[in-house]
Amino acid sequence: MFVEDNSLSMNRENLYVIIMAGGVGSRFWPMSRSKFPKQFHDILGRGRTLIQETWDRFAVMTPPENIYIVTNERYKDLVKTQLPLTTDDQILLEPVGRNTAPCIAYACYKINKINPHATFVVAPSDHLIHDEDTFRKLVQVGVDACATEDVIMTLGISPTRPDTGYGYIQYIEDAHNKGYYKVKTFTEKPNLEVARSFLESGDYVWNSGIFLFSGKTILNAFSTYLPEMAELFSSITDSYYTPAEQAAIGETYGVCQNISIDYGIMEKVPNAYVIPASFGWSDLGTWRSVYENTDTKDFYDNAVHGDGVIVYESHNNIINVSSKDKTLIIKGLDNFIVVDTEDALLICPKDEEQSIKEFVAELKARYNERYI
């Protein structure tokens, strides 16, 4: 659970956190399903689900009533069960996924109705952060800047390897010593050679997908760069925090553009800034990332989650068993993903985990929604 940190109290009452929790997490099949996606699982066996850890992370920085969850309408009960301090007004229900720009617009236009002086942090619900104190201190640097300056910020993760799975942000060094830097370029998921050159240059960071801005700045950005979307969400202001809200959102999402905040706004604005950071971050996007972030492995470097697993002569595997009434015996297996649930079993080489999305697509084609 969380303990309030009074050293992070500046702008506290005007700080709002938007947690994006609508994704399905298909790369975590068969654990993550459309009815119960990965953000609602305790994937690492730490005693809290990913969305609960995200909520805990921010609840020391702002009052619980200032933390909003944007999710698919099918996950309302999961949110209320796992985050019991959230009210219905704090759970924003999307009838259909439309990427991150509409998600963020919905939350910002709604909150602006009750607090036009708000400053926002937007974060995914399924990221892992090891050094929470450093993370919060850097967020506070950004929050303070956004509260007083016309800037839109993101946290950039200092790269540790030439990874082709992340977007990269190039920034301009300057001498202001404020801890944040003007963005020069965005590059989406480069090839390995380009990623290596980015790492060697020293002025690129991974795009974490965590954003900071004031309400005034972000609403101006929507009006300038996504004017049709701005008009849609501003035109239903009277319905926010009323029984008419959900119907209005249903109509809005029915005609709303599907676009990310990165493409729609961040890559266009002249006032984009980045805070380079290192705080033990992972987006937990794949089973391999779960393996890498599992602290307790056995003598042969197997990461085992679940009871009833006996392993012989096997090395470097990630094994996840959700059933408490089933025993798995594994012998002679190296560098594999093994995930066993009540109705599905995945056995796949770690090096081929990108195929999991293809498996899910094939299952959907054959069985519709039955196994996904």
Task: Read off the pLDDT band of 175 (50, 70, 90).
Answer: low
Task: Read off the pLDDT band of 90 (50, 70, 90).
Answer: very high
Q: What is the pLDDT of residue 324?
A: 79
The yes-or-no verdict on residue 11 having pLDDT over 70 is no
Query: ∠ CA 36-56-3 to the nearest 5 degrees?
Result: 155
Mind giving me the DSSP string for 357-368? HHHHHHHHHHHT
Q: What is the pLDDT of residue 267?
A: 92
Which pTM value belongs to this model? 0.93
The yes-or-no verdict on residue 304 having pLDDT over 60 is yes
Average pLDDT over residues 218-246: 98
pLDDT tens string 101-139: 999 999 999 999 999 999 999 999 999 999 999 999 999
Structural tokens at position 81: 């069960």
Q: What is the pLDDT of residue 8?
A: 42
Q: What is the pLDDT of residue 189?
A: 85
Average pLDDT, the chain: 93
Residue 228: enclosing H or E segment and its boundaries? helix 227-234
Structural tokens at position 189: 């998921």
Domains and CATH numbers, the chain: 6-282 (3.90.550.10), 296-367 (no CATH)
Taken in order 73, 79, 84, 90, the sign of the CA dihedral is negative
pLDDT tens string 249-267: 999 999 999 999 999 999 9
Q: What is the pLDDT of residue 190?
A: 85
